[in-house]
Amino acid sequence: MRNQRTAVVIGHGMVGHRFVEALRARDTAGDWQIVIFGEEPDPAYDRVGLSAYVGDWDRSTLALPGNDYAGDQQVRLHTGTRVTGIDAAGRQVLTERGEQRYDALVLATGSDAVVPPIPGHDTRGCHVYRTLDDLDAIRADAEAALAADPGAVGVVLGGGLLGLEAANALRTLGLRPHVVERNPRLMPRQVDTGGGEHLVRMITALGIDVTLSSGVTAVARNAADTGVAVTLADDAVLDAAVLVFAAGVRPRDELAGAAGLQLAERGGVLTDLRCGTSDPAIFAIGEVAAIEGRCYGLVGPGYSTAEVLADRLLGGDAEFPGADLSTKLKLLGVDVASFGDAMGQTPGALDVVVSDPIGGSYAKLVLSDDAATLLGGILVGDASQYGVLRPLVGSSLPGDPVSLIAPAGAGGATIGVGALPPEAQICSCNDVTKATLCAAIADGSCTVAELKSCTGAGTACGSCVPLLSQLLQAEGVSVSKALCEHFGQSRAELFELIQASGLRTFSALIARFGTGTGCDICKPTVASILASTSSDHILDGEQASLQDSNDHFLANIQRNGTYSVVPRMPGGDVTAEQLIVIGEIARDFGLYTKITGGQRIDMFGATVDQLPLIWRRLVDAGMESGQAYGKSLRTVKSCVGSDWCRYGQQDSVQLAIDLELRYRGLRSPHKIKMGVSGCARECAEARGKDVGVIATETGWNLYVGGNGGMTPRHAQLLAADLDRATLIRYIDRFLMYYIRTADRLQRTAGWVEDLGMDRLREVVIDDALGLAADFEEAVARHVDGYACEWKGVLEDPDKLARFVSFVNAPGAPDPTVSFGEKNGRKVPVLIGTPAVRTGRRD
């Protein structure tokens, strides 16, 4: 048996997880056994995206891929376990659960939030903004305070990156944020005075109060004991629900200090360029590592240390390459970016500034004293050029600097990725250069997904993903857009061909534009396009034979060959009489009932021949098909809104009903879900939907491109404080643009990501394509022509004839369908192979 060595990792954050992944990927001989101790109850999660947890409150959405190391016998993970000490002489760590020997000890303990030693800093209602548990605690206090005062304030001490993220979280929770910053500008490490002025102007316009050049001198519970009284430097007192400390972080070096390791002058474990400490068996990575005396608080440098140490433990000679401290983020809907020597500290540096207070943008480039070399820059309000400007740091600019940062329409120029030199760092988080990406493309990587997989670019913060697409095009990669072997066109091109040609049958379309007889890819795709461009019944004529099995029977087939029945309940709205009818149907047909996540009732266990009988009773009760089976609008989820909720700001129920009735039956490349929340508390989970609407005091905020499923995405803000008419126009345009241009089975999230929010706003809001009226007319035609598909079946004997279990024995019971019971619930019992049974005659 080989002599394995043990690497113990203290800390299971993003960098600790990256180290384990890197060591396991390179340790092909299995020389290292890895033991991880994480203090938090959750395994490694995306702390950079911590704010995304607010409103969603689903911890799993932030989990890093592979963070449980399932099936890897070389890794043992202990979460919720605090390390209490290090016995450096005995080479073991001491935990709450016992001792663990090590050959190599990796400190990945990260940082803690700084809590200034002001009187009352530990008062109930004071929080830091660092972990998922912190956010849960903030939420609890915020909701308790809002119950007493719907206009409650939340104070944030610190106006840096973290402070503004915390302010956004408090705003999402329903509090009015008030940011207190001791410096004369927000984000003092990232933006200069001019950029800070723009940033304050934009953020205060969003309803966030800002106090600069001030601080907090005392905290106490308020008189009503519903929150905290926060005293500022000028003796003003803010009555707040919570106070969040976001004034910076300090390395968690207490374990190292107690073990006798050498610490840096300003904190952190002192390391060399290979992450080694003063003890040859102990190493430090991430935020706790003071590399040659300096700590780095960004994930990119942390990942670099993880890679360096993994290489070192396997005998390599990698060293820390230095850190790119560039940042790009969207705070409260405002783009902010800084890169290189953003503050112009290089001797002789020249500043080129373009300030547009009316348009809401500020841009600065820092150049060398001869104006030949780009040293850095700051972008506020419009950071669209960040992706190509940052990699050019240290290189000559390919054009006049003023034109490169001038606002659109003011003589601005756009730099292409082709202008970047091979050594340009495209992905700073994972240190991926243009040369590396070009080599991957030359080796056969032809998509963004393949480039991300083989190089790691775009897998951390994601800001470089648009450049990956541009690079593929610049390298002349020709990616086939063919829908399948029978059509050389993409889905979007087929859509245009069907509209332009007027052809309304698959046979005519393939005869003119395709080859062969079609397949299970192109047939349903064409069926969907035909359905989205007319109000013909999907089971009319030849079109019926194109449908997927679910669409063919207007119901979802279940695992035992039975079907589900889902009547539409617009916005979750339903009458008592309709509920009674549903209950009677479920009882009479022996169906299992389930309230779905979309606020309607699903009935399971119906056989094909029972479907018309069930739907006859539902239609007679005034209900219609819920389209739970098609690639179309499923549901518009809503809260109870201003009718019932004391926090509701708008009538979310009526808007949800109107939206569902407007877009019901609208066929699309993938299913669509919507949500309407009556206030920022987000009870309808609108930001997890393809289209999400959230009420504000003055109107509605519109979010797009979210979804659940295997790859959850948060919707992004498209437009804010819209009146009802404008909101519906924008949704019309968004949906029709998606339906016309998205790929087959592409959800809105992926489509929006490929398109980019800036371009989407240009088309939807600014009508850059001149198609807004056309989009709106298409939706109007759909609304006018909509008819319940099941009602159409019940009125047509030919369509009704399809709904039999066996075409040669109509009315005969299906012997393969059987049910049992599990924990008091009706469940299917699988007999035979129901997948081969079908009532289809095509």
Position 206 pLDDT exceeds 90 = no
Instruction: Give the count of beta carbons closer than 10 Å to the beta carbon of residue 333.
Output: 13
The DSSP string of 23-60 is: HHHH-TT--EEEEEE-SSSS-SB-STTGGGGTTT--GG
Beta strands in 167-301, from DSSP E residues, in sequence order: 176-181, 209-212, 216-221, 228-232, 237-240, 242-245, 249-251, 269-271, 282-284, 289-291, 294-295
Highest mean pLDDT among 518-527, 748-757, 796-805: 748-757
Give the least confident one: 319-323, 329-333, 423-427: 329-333
Give the least confident one: 645-649, 697-701, 738-742: 645-649
Position 231 pLDDT exceeds 50 = yes
- Cα-Cα-Cα-Cα torsion 207, 211, 216, 217, nearest 10 degrees, comes to -130
3-class DSSP state of 204: helix
Beta-carbon contacts of residue 494 (< 8 Å; ≥ 6 apart): 483, 487, 509, 513, 525, 526, 529
16 falls within a domain? yes
Distance, in Å, from the CA atom of 99 to the CA atom of 520, rounded to the nearest integer, reads 59
Same domain, 175 and 281: no
Highest mean pLDDT among 452-456, 513-517, 576-580: 576-580
The whole-number pLDDT of residue 836 equals 31
Same domain, 624 and 636: no
Mean pLDDT of 173-185: 92
pLDDT band at 466 (very low <50, low <70, confident <90, very high): low
CATH code for the domain in which residue 460 is found:
1.10.10.1100
Position 809 pLDDT exceeds 70 = no
Give the structural domain span for 466. Answer: 433-479
Mean pLDDT in the chain? 86
Which one has a higher pLDDT value, 430 or 637?
Answer: 637
pLDDT tens-place string over residues 372-416: 888 989 988 877 778 778 888 887 777 678 877 776 444 445 566
Give the least confident one: 105-109, 629-633, 788-792: 629-633
**Sheet strands side by side (includes 153-157):** 126-128, 242-245, 153-157, 176-181, 209-212
Same domain, 164 and 180: yes
Give the least confident one: 114-123, 137-146, 450-459: 450-459
pLDDT tens-place string over residues 273-296: 999 999 999 999 999 999 999 998
pLDDT tens-place string over residues 263-276: 999 999 999 999 99
Beta-carbon contacts of residue 493 (< 8 Å; ≥ 6 apart): 481
Same domain, 639 and 778: yes
Instruction: Provide the percentage of residues in the chain whose pLDDT is more than 70.
Output: 92
Question: Are 102 and 4 contacting, i.e. CB atoms less than 8 angstroms apart?
Answer: no
Nearest to 818 by CA among 810, 809, 827: 827
Give the least confident one: 201-210, 233-242, 731-740: 201-210
CATH code for the domain in which residue 202 is found:
3.50.50.60
Is 438 annotated in some ligand binding site? no
Mean pLDDT of 589-608: 89
Amino acid, single-letter form, for residue 329: L
Is 275 annotated in some ligand binding site? no
pLDDT band at 549 (very low <50, low <70, confident <90, very high): low
| Largest interatomic CA distance in the chain | 91
Same domain, 773 and 835: no
Mean pLDDT of 364-376: 88
Same domain, 56 and 131: no
Q: Which residues in 415-453 are b (16+ Cβ under 10 Å) and which e?
A: bebebbeeebbbbbbbbbbbebbbebbeeebeebebbbe
Same domain, 660 and 776: yes
654 falls within a domain? yes
The whole-number pLDDT of residue 837 equals 32
pLDDT tens-place string over residues 42-60: 999 988 878 878 877 888 8
809 falls within a domain? no
Q: Final residue of a domain: which of 313, 341, 356?
A: 313
pLDDT band at 637 (very low <50, low <70, confident <90, very high): very high
**Encoding tokens for residue 636?**
């518009």
Which one has a higher pLDDT value, 324 or 173?
Answer: 173
Question: Are 661 and 627 contacting, i.e. CB atoms less than 8 angstroms apart?
Answer: no
The whole-number pLDDT of residue 13 equals 94
The whole-number pLDDT of residue 782 equals 92
The whole-number pLDDT of residue 461 equals 57
Q: Final residue of a domain: which of 197, 226, 247?
A: 247
The whole-number pLDDT of residue 262 equals 95
Mean pLDDT of 438-458: 80
Element housing 494 (H / E): helix 491-501
Position 839 pLDDT exceeds 60 = no
Domain count, the chain: 6
pLDDT tens-place string over residues 164-174: 889 988 988 88
pLDDT band at 463 (very low <50, low <70, confident <90, very high): low
The whole-number pLDDT of residue 468 equals 78
Same domain, 745 and 655: yes
pLDDT tens-place string over residues 94-120: 998 899 999 999 999 999 999 999 999
The whole-number pLDDT of residue 2 equals 58
Distance, in Å, from the CA atom of 376 to the CA atom of 393, rounded to the nearest integer, reads 6
Distance, in Å, from the CA atom of 361 to the CA atom of 450, rounded to the nearest integer, reads 35
The whole-number pLDDT of residue 218 equals 96
pTM of the prediction?
0.56
Position 12 pLDDT exceeds 90 = yes
Mean pLDDT of 769-779: 93
The whole-number pLDDT of residue 213 equals 94
100 falls within a domain? yes
Same domain, 266 and 208: no
Position 807 pLDDT exceeds 60 = no
708 falls within a domain? yes
Beta-carbon contacts of residue 735 (< 8 Å; ≥ 6 apart): 663, 666, 668, 672, 691, 779
Q: Final residue of a domain: which of 547, 566, 590?
A: 547
Position 832 pLDDT exceeds 50 = no
532 falls within a domain? yes
Mean pLDDT of 207-215: 91
Position 70 pLDDT exceeds 60 = yes
- Return the DSSP state at 780: H
The whole-number pLDDT of residue 443 equals 83
746 falls within a domain? yes
635 falls within a domain? yes
pLDDT tens-place string over residues 664-721: 999 999 999 999 999 988 899 999 999 999 999 899 999 999 987 656 788 999 999 9
Same domain, 686 and 773: yes
**Encoding tokens for residue 349?**
């540096």
3-class DSSP state of 198: helix
Position 478 pLDDT exceeds 70 = no
Distance, in Å, from the CA atom of 592 to the CA atom of 613, rounded to the nearest integer, reads 17
Same domain, 658 and 541: no
Mean pLDDT of 473-502: 79
Is 427 annotated in some ligand binding site? no
3-class DSSP state of 406: coil
Same domain, 288 and 185: no
Is 461 annotated in some ligand binding site? no
CATH code for the domain in which residue 690 is found:
3.30.413.10
The whole-number pLDDT of residue 842 equals 32
